């Protein structure tokens, strides 16, 4: 098994590509070892000293580190990923709850606008953000402001504010009348 690695715009996060599907459905973001108990893979990655976040995408794993050096922890991370996939264990434990998308908030009169926003996020934004090892989800729309949640490599990334303001905000303002701003939650 050969696992490729890619850097991300977030220097504290590396993207690992095992060459196979990782999760089906919505991506999973684990910020603590306790949250990762539903994933044998994420739990094992948290056992590597220096790992402080694990994001499971459709065909990649993003690992966020603390102040440890990549040269010290990358071999252990590669070993954990390889061992997991060779073991045949599931990535997410059977019977684990689906991703809780949380409550979205918007006025009923804005339903059509929200659908356009979600479509643009799904077709134009999320694929680009996934290439950088992360994900972005819609949380709400109120008084012209779109509220989004950044995950994986995007969470805490130094360039995430620029991505939100220069990229996503400009895209949504251009295509969706009534959108004035984008804010991270």
Domain at 127, CATH number: 3.30.300.130
Residue span of the structural domain in which 37 resides: 4-87
pLDDT at 99: 56
Is the same domain home to 124 and 82? no
Residue 184 sits at the vertex; the CA angle it makes with 182 and 185, to the nearest 5 degrees, is 130
Question: Per the domain annotation, does 96 fall within a domain?
Answer: no
The answer to the question of residue 100 being in a domain is no
Q: Are strands 181-184 and 145-152 parallel, antiparallel or unpaired?
A: parallel
Look at residues 29, 55, 87 and tell me which one is the last residue of a structural domain: 87
The domain boundary residue, chosen from 87, 116, 132: 87
Residues 126, 70 share a domain: no
The whole-number pLDDT of residue 97 equals 62
For residues 82 and 129, state if they share a domain: no
Number of structural domains found in the chain:
2
pTM: 0.81
Residue with tokens 């996060």: 13
pLDDT in tens, the chain (185 residues): 799 999 998 899 999 999 999 998 889 999 999 999 999 999 999 999 999 999 999 999 999 999 999 999 999 999 999 999 999 999 998 876 665 556 889 999 999 999 999 999 989 888 888 888 888 889 999 999 999 888 887 776 667 777 777 788 899 999 999 999 998 88
List Cα–Cα distances, 126 to 26, 29, 57, 59, 129, in angstroms.
Answer: 11, 15, 11, 14, 5
Q: What is the pLDDT of residue 101?
A: 56
Residues 17 and 48 in one domain: yes
What does the alpha-carbon distance between residue 66 and residue 156 come to, in Å, rounded to a whole number? 12
Largest Cα–Cα distance of the chain, in whole Å?
53
Whether residue 74 lies inside any domain: the answer is yes
Distance CA 60, CA 152 (A): 11
Looking at the structure, tell me whether residues 60 and 132 fall in a common domain. Answer: no
Question: Are 79 and 129 found together in one domain?
Answer: no
DSSP string, 31-96: -STTGGGG-HHHHHHHTSTTEEEEEE-SS-EEEEESSS-HHHHHHHHHHHHHHHHHHT--SS-TTP
Do residues 128 and 80 share a domain? no
Q: Are residues 69 and 129 in the same domain?
A: no
- State which of 25, 52, 87 marks the end of a domain: 87
pLDDT of residue 120: 93
121 and 53 belong to one structural domain: no
């Amino acid at each position: 098994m050969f696992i490729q690695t890619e850097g991300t715009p977030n220097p504290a996060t590396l993207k690992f590509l095992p060459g196979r599907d990782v999760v089906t459905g919505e991506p999973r973001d684990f910020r603590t070892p306790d949250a990762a108990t539903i994933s044998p893979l994420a739990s094992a990655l948290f056992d590597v000293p220096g790992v402080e976040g694990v994001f499971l995408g459709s065909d990649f794993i993003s690992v966020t580190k603390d102040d440890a050096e990549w040269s010290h922890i990358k071999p252990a991370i590669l070993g954990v990923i390889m061992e997991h996939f060779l073991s045949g264990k599931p990535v997410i434990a059977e019977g684990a709850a689906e991703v809780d998308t949380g409550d979205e908030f918007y006025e009923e009169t804005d339903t059509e606008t929200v659908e356009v926003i979600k479509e643009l996020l799904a077709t134009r934004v999320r694929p680009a953000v996934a290439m950088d090892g992360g994900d972005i989800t819609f949380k709400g729309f109120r008084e012209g402001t779109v509220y989004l949640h950044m995950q994986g490599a995007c969470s805490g990334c130094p360039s995430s504010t620029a991505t939100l303001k220069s990229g996503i905000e400009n895209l949504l303002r251009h295509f969706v009348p009534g959108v004035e701003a984008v804010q991270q939650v």
